[in-house]
Structure 1
Amino acid sequence: MNTQRARPRQMGGGGDGVRRPLIPKRSGQPEEVGEQQQQQALVRQVDVSGMRVEEQLQRERLVEAVAIHEGLEDLREVTEEFMALLEEQQDPIDTIEARIEAALKDVREGRVQIVEATEKASKCQKLLCFFPAMLTIIAVLMLIALFVKGQMKELS
Structure 2
Amino acid sequence: MARLIFALVSLVCMFQTLAAPLQSRAVTSKECSSFNVQASIGIDAARTSLGSINTGNDIGNARNLLEAQLSLLDANNGTTQIADSLLVNAPPAPADANARIVSGLQASLASLSHVVLIVDNSTKAAVAAANASMTTALESAQQAVAANCQTTVN
Length-normalised TM-score, structure 2: 0.25
Structure having the higher Rg: 1
Which one scores higher on RCO, CA 8 angstroms, separation ≥ 6? 2
Length-normalised TM-score, structure 1: 0.24
Bigger share in helix: 1
